Amino acid sequence: MPIYEYMCLRCGRLFERIMKVGEGGPPCPDCGAPETQKRVASFGTNAWATFLDRMERKVSPEKFK
């Protein structure tokens, strides 16, 4: 089974999980947030910008309508 690296979108914690195919993302082991994102190989220099953009969409969704 593959091991995936996840990032918590709430607190930014990185953690690894062995996931079965089709299984949803695991909750954060630190803060328990269900909003975790699977990191991919192309996760690059704009990761922080992507993170902030996602956070802003959660906090201020009216900006993106």
- 39 makes contact with Zn ion (CB under 5 A): no
Least distance from C-beta 65 to Zn ion, angstroms?
A: 27
Residue 1 token pair = 């089974």
- 11 makes contact with Zn ion (CB under 5 A): yes
Helix (H) / strand (E) element for 41: namely none
CB-wise, 43 or 62, nearer to Zn ion? 43
| One residue of 14, 18, 31, 52 binding Zn ion per CB under 5 A | 31
- 33 vs 48: CA distance, rounded Å: 19
3-state secondary structure of 5: strand
- 28 makes contact with Zn ion (CB under 5 A): yes
